Structure 1
Amino acid sequence: MLDSLITTFVSTYSIPVLIVLPVVIAVICFVVGNITLSRIVSVVSGIFLVITCLLQAGYVLQQAAAIELVVGNWQPPLGIRLSVNEFSAIMLLMTSTIGLAITFYSTKYFNSDDKEVRFWPLWWFLITALNGIFISSDIFNTYIMLELLGLTAVSLIAIQGTQQALQASFQYLLVGLFGSLMYLLGVAIIYRTYGVLDNQLIANMVENNLSMQLALVLITLGMMMKCALFPLHFWLPSAHSNASAPVSAMLSALVVKAAFFILFTFWFEILTAVVTTAAVTVMGIFGAMAVIYGSYRAFTSPRLKQLIAYSTVAQIGYLFLAFPLMIATPELARTAVIYFIVAHGCAKAAMFLAAGVIQKTMGHDQLSQLQGIATKLPLSIFIFAVTSASLIGLPPSGGFIAKWLLLNNAVEADQWWWVLTLFIGGLLASAYLFRVLNLAFTTPENKDGSEEKFHTVSMVSESKLLGAVGLSIITIVIGLNAMWLTNLITSSY
């Protein structure tokens, strides 16, 4: 009986819940304007979304079948189709899990009631947009959710209220609008050519012609800007480093991944007939350049959050190394992409949350003045160390498995040059992340050579990091259970 109820809920009601619930919570938080109530309903709703997405992922991965909902029973091309496949199910589960950790963190983060009152409605609209992107099977509805995602992300950055945050949010707004315009022009070309907007219908009809090539180029440029692929990454460091810690965590862990999800879907599901070997090679080269450049800028960054932001530029590059591998070993490359997204998302969110505690406690995030903070903030440094291991690719972390999968794919595809990029990127990541850990465990000295005595810091300040600890543990768990997870992902397609 219980199994039947769960199956009915997952197959019939779980998709509407992903949109309706966050919208309702956003409206409640906006209308009521009560911080205590907003915190309670946000945590409870976050837990419910995790359960819903966990049931969805279990159903999709075990049944090897997508969950579909046709709105109003109007079949495409007249109607709108919403669906959850193995990729989107994992993205939804990751979004809800990271979202819950950030939600818990945010209940104890803000010192200003005014900021927190504005945060919660925008936060839930951001969750709505992310869920909408992952379940949309219509390229125009994807655009609508993409616009909602961009506007809420800009507003969340601006909440910080500093001049740097306002400048970063304005720059992000311009970049986001331009990227969305490029995407919309591509959608217009596709609709003008085939008269349909449904993903599956377009994939069945598309041909390799000039108009579709132009559409793919426009969509690619737009999404490259939104996911900050080198050399169109210029907006990301200032936006991520100047936003509040919970916003930085979501931007780096999920918002840029949503743009990548759209781009990956167009290249390898919708407009696959247009994709050429030369095109995927170019994308791989951009990815390799992002790994090298982002790592270098992270190593030379004077601020902790800026270092983590440039690390995101580098880590995004790894995802694009899988593009040329999708031609030779599509199943393995797809598995590597999914694994890397999950490993990086959990690690980077936890790292930004830990950096937020460090910044609030110390009053700054200047690396030169963070010597010895391991004795003040042991939990924050523990989280930073565990997530660093994943970003570097050290066993037994999920990051190690993700990079190992990419390396194996490159070897099997006889594309050894990507192996070289993986090794160089890992060494550079070690350099800039161990730079932080070395400072954290170095005891500062006074001018007379004696050890400087720290002022006592209340350990209550780290209580908000329980969610971040959970994300750190996930990065290890998915590394220790690599065989089971990769077999589960692979068996679903």
Structure 2
Amino acid sequence: MMPFASMAAEGATAGGFLLVLGIMLPAVAILALFVLGGRVAALAVALALAAQIVIALGILFLVGDTGQPIVYVVGGWVPPLGITLRADGISAIMLLTAGLVSAAAAAFAWRDYGPRAGEKERRSSLVFFSALLAIGSALNLLFTSADLFNLYVGLELLTFAAIPLVSLKGSAETIRAALRYLLFAVFGSMLYLLGVVLIYGAHGTLDIAALAARAKPEAVTLLAAGLATAGLLAKTALFPFHLWLPPAHAGAPPAASAVLSALVVKGSLFLLARLWFDAFPALREPAAMQLLAGLGAAAVILGSVSALRQVRLKLLVAYSTVAQIGYMFFIFTLVPSAPGEAWLSGTAWTGGWMQVVAHAFAKAAMFMAAGLVAEALGHDRIDALAGLARRLPLVALTFAVSGLSLMGIPPSGGFSAKWMLLVAALAQGHWIWAAVIIAGGVLAGAYVFRVLGRMMAEPPEGLAVKPLNMGQQAVALGLALVPVALGLLPLEPAALLQVGRAP
């Protein structure tokens, strides 16, 4: 395995062109939307999303087969004069996750935003598909960048592609939610950029490999890392910076909510992991890592309690996202910083990223199911869902299967993730984090079964249910089944996720 620290002398490797294609193809497809219009543009969207999956699979197989990261040196200029693109095991997994969820969201939204015979082009259609492609391009840039400023560029592209999805309905409520999101995003960006400026002033480079070799726990570096971290926490919506997320995700259309919850918040989380595990491994003091884990624990408990108190289904699912994000921050303290603990480190690392991936698919499916409920009934009030399981069995099944992963019930990727995190916590004597992991699963069960209980209740007289598109139901159920497949993987450190990690 080739860690970031040894990347300074690296040149381009085989398959490096795939990294460039992954970033550029969605951007080219966006131009096609504006230039070609109509059905030709719709075809461009479909081809771009299919190509994104093919490229991600190519990167995944190449990284897995060689056991080495893929590297592309932009313009032939090696750092510190130039920048590099790099895909390790985590990048490969996240690229494929983003490609699959984006394609599923496009398929789900095609009925509402796709071209219709005999109708003029709609502004909402252009906004949705261009934003979806921009999110794909920004995520691919984030997942493959090895330079802190390049990561900032990807993060900003991601933010400004996501905000239009929040306000796509155009109502006063969604515009307020988008403006709140924008406020938190700009605040987070300023803090992160200020940290990057201080890092460059102190070390003369923003290349992650160079920083890993140079950065020491000095005052200016600690301040810079703290500012950048605070900014990224605001963008990730970790407690107490979560106030923007529930109204933004709950007010967006179902396909948009799926992308926002499954992918967009993962971009800044990915950057946080790059910052602390790759750029600043020498700064990973236990106290700072415990603080991140403590905020994650607070998010798990308070987010779950808030979800349990909601009266609307989409708000419940949105607050569930706040809670599930919290689990991902346990890796900062459960992955040991001392050498010689490879199994324990690999277990916690695999569990954290399994949680990221399983949550992406489960939450995308759950938001789609919630959107279908609102379409069928004309509302999403939880206390008025009686009889839905009988009238719309596929929708209820999608919600139930997605809930398995959130609760951590086998077989599901959520169970595998939480089990490995729990094993790592108990092995290191972190009893508080272990208790939070268990309590979070119980609370998730409470709000999931609260909804399922209402869906399975006896339907009232004269219940009117609008017929739903079978294709949309199939897409949502297909996403929900992915975490079940992940739950069949061995409960052990995944070799692919170790590719590119420092030994």
- Scaled to the shorter chain, the TM-score interval is over 0.9
Q: In the alignment, which of 5, 11, 18 is matched to residue 14 of structure 1? A: 18
SS at match of 1:301: coil
User: What amino acid does structure 2 have at the position aligned with 1:32?
Assistant: L
Residues 62 and 492, structure 1, Cα contact 8 Å, conserved in 2: no
User: What amino acid does structure 1 have at the position aligned with 2:359?
Assistant: H
SS at match of 1:409: helix
Within 2, Cα distance between the matches of 1:184 and 1:406?
32
Q: Provide the residue aligned with 1:153 in structure 2.
A: 162
Within 2, Cα distance between the matches of 1:252 and 1:395?
23
Q: In the alignment, which of 57, 60, 64 is matched to residue 63 of structure 2? A: 60
| TM-score, normalised via structure 1 length | 0.93
Q: Provide the residue aligned with 1:404 in structure 2.
A: 419
Residues 26 and 123, structure 1, Cα contact 8 Å, conserved in 2: no
Within 1, Cα distance between the matches of 2:189 and 2:40?
35
Residue 341 of structure 1 pairs with residue 338 of structure 2: no
Q: Provide the residue aligned with 2:192 in structure 1.
A: 183
Give, in angstroms, the shift of residue 332 of structure 1.
2.0
Quick check: 303-312 or 45-54, which moved more? 45-54
Give, in angstroms, the shift of residue 483 of structure 1.
4.7
Residues 237 and 309, structure 1, Cα contact 8 Å, conserved in 2: yes
SS at match of 1:482: coil
SS at match of 2:33: helix
Residue 481 of structure 1 pairs with residue 489 of structure 2: yes
Listed one character per residue, the Cα deviations across residues 302-334 of structure 1 (whole Å, up to 9, x for unaligned) are: 111100000000001111122211226432221
Residue 120 of structure 1 pairs with residue 147 of structure 2: no
Within 1, Cα distance between the matches of 2:351 and 2:258?
22
Count residues with an aligned counterpart.
478
Alignment of 1:258-269 (within 5 A): 258-269=267-278
Q: In the alignment, which of 336, 356, 378 is matched to residue 393 of structure 2? A: 378
Q: Provide the residue aligned with 1:424 in structure 2.
A: 439
Alignment of 1:305-344 (within 5 A): 305-327=314-336, 329-344=344-359
Q: In the alignment, which of 27, 52, 56 is matched to residue 23 of structure 1? A: 27
Listed one character per residue, the Cα deviations across residues 434-484 of structure 1 (whole Å, up to 9, x for unaligned) are: 111111111233xxxxxx13336324x232233322222211111112358
Residue 390 of structure 1 pairs with residue 405 of structure 2: yes
Residues 17 and 72, structure 2, Cα contact 8 Å, conserved in 1: no
Within 2, Cα distance between the matches of 1:130 and 1:283?
23
SS at match of 1:232: coil
Instruction: Classify 1:485/1:98 alpha carbon distance in 2 versus 1 (closer, same or farther; 3 Å).
Output: farther
Instruction: Classify 1:340/1:10 alpha carbon distance in 2 versus 1 (closer, same or farther; 3 Å).
Output: farther
Listed one character per residue, the Cα deviations across residues 274-311 of structure 1 (whole Å, up to 9, x for unaligned) are: 12111111111111111110000000011111000000
Give, in angstroms, the shift of residue 492 of structure 1.
6.5
SS at match of 1:137: coil
Q: Provide the residue aligned with 2:476 in structure 1.
A: 468
Alignment of 1:22-101 (within 5 A): 22-34=26-38, 36-101=39-104
Within 2, Cα distance between the matches of 1:189 and 1:202?
13
Instruction: Classify 1:277/1:485 alpha carbon distance in 2 versus 1 (closer, same or farther; 3 Å).
Output: closer
Within 2, Cα distance between the matches of 1:338 and 1:144?
24
Give, in angstroms, the shift of residue 9 of structure 1.
11
Q: In the alignment, which of 357, 365, 369 is matched to residue 384 of structure 2? A: 369
Q: Provide the residue aligned with 2:209 in structure 1.
A: 200
Consecutive unaligned residues in structure 1, runs of 5 or more: 1-7, 446-451
| TM-score, normalised via structure 2 length | 0.92
Identity %, equivalent residues: 38
Residues 350 and 493, structure 2, Cα contact 8 Å, conserved in 1: no
Listed one character per residue, the Cα deviations across residues 163-210 of structure 1 (whole Å, up to 9, x for unaligned) are: 111000011111101101100000000000111111111111111100
SS at match of 1:108: helix
Give, in angstroms, the shift of residue 121 of structure 1.
1.3
Within 1, Cα distance between the matches of 2:48 and 2:392?
30
Within 2, Cα distance between the matches of 1:303 and 1:78?
52
Listed one character per residue, the Cα deviations across residues 79-109 of structure 1 (whole Å, up to 9, x for unaligned) are: 1100101111111110001111111111113
Within 2, Cα distance between the matches of 1:488 and 1:132?
20
Within 1, Cα distance between the matches of 2:389 and 2:346?
42
Q: Provide the residue aligned with 1:352 in structure 2.
A: 367
Q: Provide the residue aligned with 1:302 in structure 2.
A: 311
Residues 379 and 462, structure 1, Cα contact 8 Å, conserved in 2: no
Residues 113 and 128, structure 2, Cα contact 8 Å, conserved in 1: no
Consecutive unaligned residues in structure 2, runs of 5 or more: 1-11, 115-120, 338-343
Listed one character per residue, the Cα deviations across residues 105-125 of structure 1 (whole Å, up to 9, x for unaligned) are: 111134993311221112211
User: What amino acid does structure 1 have at the position aligned with 2:21?
Assistant: V
Give, in angstroms, the shift of residue 487 of structure 1.
4.3
User: What amino acid does structure 2 have at the position aligned with 1:355?
Assistant: A
Listed one character per residue, the Cα deviations across residues 388-423 of structure 1 (whole Å, up to 9, x for unaligned) are: 011100001111000000011111112122111111
SS at match of 1:200: helix
Instruction: Classify 1:143/1:410 alpha carbon distance in 2 versus 1 (closer, same or farther; 3 Å).
Output: same
Quick check: 374-383 or 429-438, which moved more? 374-383
SS at match of 1:442: coil
SS at match of 2:71: strand
Quick check: 162-171 or 461-470, which moved more? 461-470
SS at match of 2:180: helix
Q: Provide the residue aligned with 1:232 in structure 2.
A: 241
Instruction: Classify 1:456/1:147 alpha carbon distance in 2 versus 1 (closer, same or farther; 3 Å).
Output: closer
Residue 173 of structure 1 pairs with residue 182 of structure 2: yes
Within 1, Cα distance between the matches of 2:326 and 2:27?
33
Report the structure, 1 or 2, having the larger helix content: 1
Q: Provide the residue aligned with 1:4 in structure 2.
A: none
Residue 435 of structure 1 pairs with residue 445 of structure 2: no
Residues 88 and 499, structure 2, Cα contact 8 Å, conserved in 1: no
